[in-house]
Amino acid sequence: MPQTRPFTRPAGMTRRAAISGLGAGLLAATCRASPADGLSPETGIARGWSAGDSLPFPVQEIYPCLHDGAIHLAGGFVATDGRITGPTEQHHLWRPDGLGWRAAPPLPTARHHPHLISWRGQLWTYGGFESPSAEAIWTMQAGGWVLDEGNKGGWAPAPTLPVPCGEAVLLVGGTGLLHLAGGRSPVGAANAVWQDQADQTHHFVLDDPAGSWREAAPCLSARNSAAGAVIDGRLHIVGGRSVTGGNTAAHEVYDPAEDRWRTAAPMPQAQGGLAAAEAGGKLFAFGGEYFDNGGGVYPEAWVYDPQTDEWGPIDPMPHPRHGLGAVTLDGAVHVIGGALKASGVETSALVEIYRP
């Protein structure tokens, strides 16, 4: 959604430089890493970007995950001719077996922004929005489902969140608990459009699949459309945006053993609507959108090293996107779906793979 604070690039980085970086990424027409990129010492495969299997259809505002050796993607906004037509209940998975994406049990109801996660050996999904009518596109949800693979592969209800929540971060911490942090929730009885909801610092934890969510230490800042990953058992949440402050570069780290948040080195650039994933003990962040000067999508991608508390650039995205997902499989980050332009325009079926 539109923000009120202009986007600011880091010192020394001009718009021309960013566009030049994008051009360099697109110049690799096949989207394949060159020998000059070097080889991964772990796999012997060329580092950098390569093309993955395209999704069955364009989709954005997604939170895919890795479960049982496969990348799972469910829900999101689908589009026709690049323009959003509404949410979907479709669920697909991909394995590195050469068979491409294949259909899996659909969600019980179409949702956009549903959070997927693998927890306790099962696939879970929480929150997000349903669109029961043209006047209620952003009806935020508190309920979730767990894929009951023992019951003909259908979805069963999961413990309900204390409040409806969307555009949050859902992660499994080092102590094995399920965490939902930040995002947006309704501020009153109204819950139909985006303006009915506000940014939150809430942080909920689920100890037992048959139990109830409880409150944990609140986040240090209220924001939505952030991204996160777990490194050494700690939750890292980066980027995002707020209605009052626009895009943020904030980086907050939660230690489950202490029930405490701390600040870490901020991203080099404030990016909201981005995706993030852990690979090789480091945090990788991709994409996002901004709304000043006509709006656009960030080509920049970054890596964070928790050992030094420092960020650095990696090769820019070949096709910059926002509202996308990022999932690590076999040491490579699969950057999935999203939109090629700000505000949901040009929804994409692209999958591109970054190998550190």
Chain-centre distance for alpha carbon 97 = 24
In angstroms, the CA 327 to CA 95 distance is 12
From first to last of the 356 residues of the chain, give the pLDDT tens digit: 433 333 333 333 333 333 333 333 333 333 433 434 476 666 667 889 999 999 999 999 999 999 999 999 999 999 998 789 999 999 999 999 999 999 999 999 999 999 999 999 999 999 999 999 999 999 999 999 999 877 667 999 999 999 999 999 999 999 999 999 999 999 999 999 999 999 999 999 999 999 999 999 999 999 999 999 999 999 999 999 999 999 999 999 999 999 999 999 999 999 999 999 999 999 999 999 999 888 999 999 999 999 999 999 999 999 999 999 999 999 999 999 999 999 989 999 999 999 99
Number of Cβ within 10 Å of residue 196's Cβ equals 18
- 3-state SS of 175-223 is CCCEEEECCEEECCCCCCCHHHEEECCCEEEECCCCCCEEECCCCCCCC
The distance from CA 80 to its chain's CA centroid, rounded to whole angstroms, is 22
* Structure token pair of residue 245: 């402050």
- Is 31 within 8 Å of 54 (Cβ atoms)? no
Tell me the one-letter amino acid at 167.
E
**Cα–Cα distances in angstroms (integers) from residue 293 to residues 7, 128, 273, 320, in the given order:** 9, 29, 17, 17
- In this prediction, residue 43 carries a pLDDT of 61
Q: CA 131 to CA 53: how far, in whole Å?
A: 29
Spacing of C-alpha 15 from chain mean position: 25
pLDDT at 246: 96
Structure tokens at 55: 């999704």
Question: Which has the closest alpha carbon to 97: 351, 329, 280?
Answer: 329
- The set of residues, in sequence order, having a beta carbon less than 8 Å from that of 154 and lying 6+ positions away, is 105, 147, 148
Q: Residue 108: which H helix or E strand, with range?
A: none
What local confidence, expressed as pLDDT, does residue 148 receive?
83
β-sheet with 301-305: strand ranges across: 275-279, 282-286, 301-305, 310-314
**H helices present in 129-269, as ranges:** none
pLDDT of residue 24: 36
Q: Which class for 13: exposed (0-12), middle (13-18), buried (19 or more C-beta within 10 A)?
A: middle
What does pTM read for this prediction? 0.88
Task: Look at residue 42 in the predicted model and tell me its pLDDT.
Answer: 61
Q: What type of residue sits at position 60? A: Q
Residue 21 is predicted with a pLDDT of 36
Which domains are delineated in the chain? 15-355 (2.120.10.80)
Q: Cβ–Cβ contacts within 10 Å for residue 44, how many? A: 7
Tokens of 271: 């990016």
What phi and psi, each to the nearest 5 degrees, are found at residue 217? -55, 130
